[in-house]
Structure 1
Amino acid sequence: MRIGIDLGGTKIEIVALEQVGDQVGGRTGDRAAGAVLARERIPTPRGDYDATVTAIRDLVAGVEARLGRRGTVGIGIPGAISPATGLVKNANSTWLIGRSFDRDLEVALGRPVRLANDANCFALSEAVDGAAVGASIVFGVILGTGVGGGIVVNERVLTGANAISGEWGHNPLPWPEDSERPGPACYCGRHGCIETFLSGPGLAADHQRITGIAMSAEDVVAAAAADDAAAEATLRRYEERLARALAHLVNMLDPDAIVLGGGLSGLQRLYDSVPRLWGRHIFSDHVATRLVPPVHGDSSGVRGAAWLWPPEQEGEREGGG
């Protein structure tokens, strides 16, 4: 049994997955799609570190008691463990920053845990048993309140020497037009980050800059569907910028598949328009990379956390139990 936990700013979700069969994508021996044995959500104890650790401990204990089984534990967080200090960094849930979260959880749970950035968990979920099954190199993109990403190679998360692999949103928008320079201010202290253009708030801000009309990203999408010319123009700018940003990524990583997640991943037109546009920027005579929607949607983060333990580490992953 594999237990995954998604620690968000407002909720903590836990899922227990069963491994069924021994094939994924027709490849014998790979991890298989997991049937959901249990699932639960509780509010996050915002601002309270000790209560957060306790809440996770109690969720795991409750699930294992109900199922009468012990499992591995993987956890996705909105941040990362610094290789330099062993402490949490870059976390939107600021009460985690500077804490030895993984070690404290291991003490509380009495076993080893695996911890990864939530975008990495999303990418892993879709690579293992989602939209990118069978792909060797997968990039998972989050297009939501912020813009992030995760890289998975042969069903393993690529963390990187600085634990920032996949932090795609804080690179500059590539091949900028004059009107895009220096770009909107980003909370990271720079201007023109991809996130400032391609997040939901970034799309809404772009529409307001051009039209003077304040609308949410969802309202812009709805207006475009209702034949609003200004909203349609905003979405066309968004698609062209997304195509440039992903082309830059393809030139560096050359993934087999790119899976979109986050609220804007539901915009179906992206999967047709962006591949039509990105070819002019990709340094190849043919583009085989697939752009696909997620299979597991909002559940990808918690499922990916459950898949953080590789299958060959049977003894360690269950703490010898």
Structure 2
Amino acid sequence: MRIGIDLGGTKTEVIALGDAGEQLYRHRLPTPRDDYRQTIETIATLVDMAEQATGQRGTVGMGIPGSISPYTGVVKNANSTWLNGQPFDKDLSARLQREVRLANDANCLAVSEAVDGAAAGAQTVFAVIIGTGCGAGVAFNGRAHIGGNGTAGEWGHNPLPWMDEDELRYREEVPCYCGKQGCIETFISGTGFATDYRRLSGHALKGSEIIRLVEESDPVAELALRRYELRLAKSLAHVVNILDPDVIVLGAG
């Protein structure tokens, strides 16, 4: 049995697959924000739940919103910032008493979609994950391209291109957790979408609630969505100019 873990900024999810790839079990729990040890315990709980439900012991692989530095062996560039600087794979392996294989979640998406998903058979795939944060991965011929520093595709920390006056103000008001201003992630993550709506309306809503208002033809929600779509298109235009992918896959966190 194979156990997969998706660690996100809001939720952590487990899936258990049989030998033929069939789903045996699936469950999610809230991600304990800003608590490294409790994050490990949540993952251990999910693995235990999967093994209890199936009566089998499984190998464990995991996608994380960051990467393991090939030089230091610790996590870097994670928007779940409490993971940064930690030997996450080693600590998790010790807790689960087995090898745990970690990879960037967007790289996992890129390979999955290139092998048998929306980009099956494509030579060059750029896969975007939009959730609490925003990241991306690159696959060439069905294999992840991670780069020399393990950060290929981390386009969410490039600056938003061609900013208008309001976006320049937004950049000043909403700094990125990385310490810079104007990062794409601050504009087009789910968090960024909700932040922009709050700036326009004065009301704090979740992204799903804003979309319900769009479906009801609420003018402020419609404006927020149009602004979001334009920012996403501008951000992807740079990728097209540099990488010229055969397929761009959009995924949600």
Q: Same fold (TM over 0.5)?
A: yes
Mapped pair 1:180 → 2:167: yes
CA distance in 1, matches of 2:219, 2:107: 37
Partner of 2:118: 131
Mapped pair 1:236 → 2:229: no
RMSD in angstroms over aligned alpha carbons?
A: 3.2
CA distance in 1, matches of 2:25, 2:31: 19
Partner of 2:250: 260
Letter in 2 for 1:163: G
* Structure 1 portions without partners, runs of 5+: 21-33, 263-297, 299-321
Shift of 1:171: 0.9
Partner of 2:127: 140
CA distance in 2, matches of 1:201, 1:62: 30
Shift of 1:86: 0.6
The answer on whether the counterparts of 2:68 and 2:74 sit within 8 Å (CA) in structure 1 is yes
Q: How does 1:25-64 map to 2 (within 5 A)?
A: 34-42=21-29, 49-50=36-37, 52-53=39-40, 56-57=43-44, 59-60=46-47, 63=50
CA distance in 1, matches of 2:37, 2:210: 41
1:272-291 Cα deviation digits (max 9, x unpaired):
xxxxxxxxxxxxxxxxxxxx
The answer on whether the counterparts of 2:125 and 2:139 sit within 8 Å (CA) in structure 1 is yes
1:134-157 Cα deviation digits (max 9, x unpaired):
222222212233222222223322
CA distance in 1, matches of 2:105, 2:191: 20
Give the SS at the match of 2:73. coil
Partner of 1:4: 4
Partner of 1:227: 217
Shift of 1:75: 1.1
Partner of 2:72: 85
**Structure with bigger RCO (C-alpha 8 Å, 6+ apart):** 1
Give the SS at the match of 1:181. helix
CA distance in 2, matches of 1:258, 1:79: 20
The answer on whether the counterparts of 1:183 and 1:191 sit within 8 Å (CA) in structure 2 is no
Q: 1:227 to 1:136 in 2, by over 3 A?
A: same
* Structure 2 portions without partners, runs of 5+: none
Give the SS at the match of 1:173. coil
Shift of 1:52: 4.6
Mapped pair 1:167 → 2:167: no
Q: 1:222 to 1:43 in 2, by over 3 A?
A: closer
Shift of 1:66: 6.0
CA distance in 1, matches of 2:31, 2:193: 28
Mapped pair 1:98 → 2:85: yes
The answer on whether the counterparts of 2:79 and 2:133 sit within 8 Å (CA) in structure 1 is no
1:153-201 Cα deviation digits (max 9, x unpaired):
2332222222222221111112333443364232233222212222234
Give the SS at the match of 1:148. strand
Mapped pair 1:199 → 2:169: no
Mapped pair 1:152 → 2:139: yes
TM-score, normalised to structure 2, is 0.79
1:59-116 Cα deviation digits (max 9, x unpaired):
5466457656554421122322122211122334444332222123334445443201
Q: 1:179 to 1:85 in 2, by over 3 A?
A: same
TM-score, normalised to structure 1, is 0.64
Give the SS at the match of 2:214. helix
Find the structure with the greater CA-based Rg: 1
Count of paired positions: 249
Alignment equivalent of 2:180, drawn from 190, 199, 221: 190
Q: 1:39 to 1:196 in 2, by over 3 A?
A: closer
